[in-house]
Chain A
Amino acid sequence: MSKRVDVVDLNVYYGDFLAVEGVNMNIDAQAVTAFIGPSGCGKTTLLRSLNRMHEVLPGARVKGQLLLDGEDIYESGVDPVTVRTQVGMVFQRPNPFPTMTIRENVLAGYKLNGARLSKSQSEEIVETSLRSANLWNEVKDRLDRPGSGLSGGQQQRLCIARTIAVKPDVILMDEPCSALDPISTLAIEDLIGELQQDYTVIIVTHNMQQAARVSQKTAFFNIAGTGKPGKLIEYDDTTSIFNTPQEKSTEDYVSGRFG
């Protein structure tokens, strides 16, 4: 159910502006990979190019190859919609659909695509997704209330449930905890640890402890200066990145000396 991701010579542009340059990395399946780096170095940009969400912005484009289990998602003729059903995404700010109930939010991936589900099927999807998002116990009595009535942390877990309900192979998370309190953050970190068994998880975080806690591999990105492209500086096991970094800038960053 989970797929590996190989990035080959990837350049990401906003119009003429090269935001991320020359990224090469192999991301393992069934593992958590963390992207860290100072603000503006292109973590979000790279993450959004992994499920072809980058190109919904006007003028945004990508050069290079991005292999999902060996198949290039940027090959001509590939439908971005198919890619996005396989690579799900959780955003920085929780964004449940305000017009939908909790139940409808979980089923959104099916309902919005016009899929017909029997009652028992949808009951099952709702329950398993909410259970894997560690939200079931909190909302099981109010599935028909609006999703926007939940707390921020619950909303974020609802968004995760919505993403795993469509059973993607890869889950991308862009600073999923940055709007949350420590308790909700812990809940989501636990959840990421569980998701790893079934999915390839890629998470952007500014929180070094979080990267150290949840990920097996860490990629450090940096930027030479404003207006310059962001680059992948170092990519290795999380323990190596934090304990024995090879690059000076990585060491400075993880030890908090800049950024």
Chain B
Amino acid sequence: MTQTPTPTPASVQGPSGASGLTEPSSNGVPRRSSLTQNTLPSWLWIAMLGGSLVLGAALSALFGFNLATWFIFTAVIYILSSYFLTRTKVNGRRATDGLWTNLVYLAFLIALMPLISVIWSVASVGIQGLMAPGFLSSDMQGITGLVDEASQTEGTPVLGGIFHALIGSLLITLAATVISVPIGLLTSIYLVEYAKGGPLSRAITFFVDVMTGIPSIVAGLFAGAAMAWFLSVFSGVTGLLTTQRSTLGITAAIALSVLMVPVVVRTTEEMLRVVPNELREASYALGVRKWRTILKVVLPTAISGIASGVTLAIARVIGETAPILVTAGFVVNTNWNLFQGWMTALPVYIFRQFQNPTSPNFSDPSEQRAWAAALVLILIVMGLNLFARLIAKFFAPKQTGR
């Protein structure tokens, strides 16, 4: 096959050559627009996918049908057949391109599977408990082993709920946010706007990186120890609060903020760095002071990213179990006070219901509640992620035109 200097259909088809399918007819009048040469009709792929599904099902049935082998056979058949079809009918370059595209889609599907199966299994098991009357609005006070035993053996409705855990999670996470957002925001403002790459800013960046890797249980132990130390010093100096124990909602909030601060610093830093310098200079040139420029130009421009970063940080810590268990403990009644008494958070509730069922010999009601609470937790996290996207969209600077 000779190469011609101008790109004719033959030359762009590449070294593997082409067959008659896309060749213009011999009298010189193309059957299709010359621009659609080298393509296969799009319905073909759907047809091939259908064929692969059927064939995959048939092959899978040979070994005793199940979904996993069906999926594998279908994928292999579809990818191979489309590769060879493109190779013989169009050209090798397009075939390789298609092969990789299909492999990327396959990888995406495989990556999606654990997520979908987690959501599916939690939802299917948890929905029953979630529908139980009073599940969201009652706590576990008065729910004894006998109540659960009756539910399991005599079929009375499963009582008890997660109200106390919801309140606990909400208050603890809220307090953690209130602590860590100002710290994180100010730190990143310092890093981006004031630090000039000196040793202090490099030290901060280093320690923030180290903090990102702190195991959450260590954060919990730290917060517990810090609170105990603070209380002993405080009562030693003032003589007050001598009987106060360090197991409190606020201690858990401190533990969570240790985990949250580095995330907030990192995301906020990124968002502040992408604010164009031109905007800062435009503001300076109008005779606006630096702190006002940061407050009124830089932060509003970056606010959507900051807010969604904070929301994602919240979503990240709301599922923490160990640091809350060691700092806030576990109770069955609703505690509204962060500064007095033990508190339950949703993940701790789930953990306890599985690990120490209310009635050790009749654990079905406890498991039902645990799954339902897990479903609620997943819904909260998904809701927060959705919320973060909405914030990002809603606050984004209106960039139209140009």
What 0/1 pattern do residues 141 to 161 of A give for CB contact below 8 A with B?
000001011111001000100
A166 within 8 A of B: yes
What 0/1 pattern do residues 285 to 299 of B give for CB contact below 8 A with A?
111110011001100
Take A95-B276, A98-B397, A113-B292 as given contacts and tell me if A84 and B402 are in contact as well, using a CB distance cutoff of 8 Å.
no
Q: Report whether B281 and A112 are in contact in the complex, using a CB–CB cutoff of 8 Å.
A: no
Classify the interface of chain A: helix, strand, loop or mixed.
Answer: mixed
Bound complex: CA A98 to CA B278 (Å) = 11
Q: Report whether B279 and A112 are in contact in the complex, using a CB–CB cutoff of 8 Å.
A: no
Bound complex: CA A84 to CA B281 (Å) = 11
A224 within 8 A of B: no
Q: Report whether B397 and A150 are in contact in the complex, using a CB–CB cutoff of 8 Å.
A: no
Size of the B side of the interface (Cβ < 8 Å), in residues, is 27
Q: Report whether B281 and A163 are in contact in the complex, using a CB–CB cutoff of 8 Å.
A: no
Take A98-B399, A146-B400 as given contacts and tell me if A85 and B284 are in contact as well, using a CB distance cutoff of 8 Å.
no
Q: Report whether A98 and B402 are in contact in the complex, using a CB–CB cutoff of 8 Å.
A: no
Residues of A within 8 A of B393 (CB): none
Q: Report whether A163 and B289 are in contact in the complex, using a CB–CB cutoff of 8 Å.
A: no
Partner of A113, one of B196, B278, B281, B288: B288
What 0/1 pattern do residues 262 to 302 of B give for CB contact below 8 A with A?
00000000000000101111111111110011001100110
- Selecting from A21-29, A51-59, A124-132, the interface stretch reads A51-59
A118 within 8 A of B: no
Bound complex: CA A113 to CA B289 (Å) = 8
Residues of B within 8 A of A88 (CB): 285-286
Within 8 A of B (CB), among A100-115: 108-109, 111-114
Q: Report whether B283 and A81 are in contact in the complex, using a CB–CB cutoff of 8 Å.
A: no
Residues of B within 8 A of A84 (CB): 284-287
Bound complex: CA A186 to CA B58 (Å) = 74
**Closest beta carbon of chain A to B202's beta carbon, Å:** 15
A76 within 8 A of B: no
B401 within 8 A of A: yes
A97 within 8 A of B: yes
A91 within 8 A of B: yes
A interface residues with partner B (beta carbon < 8 Å): 51, 53, 56, 58, 81-82, 84-85, 88-89, 91, 93, 95, 97-99, 108-109, 111-114, 146, 148-152, 155, 159, 162-163, 166
B interface residues with partner A (beta carbon < 8 Å): 196-197, 276, 278-289, 292-293, 296-297, 300-301, 397-402
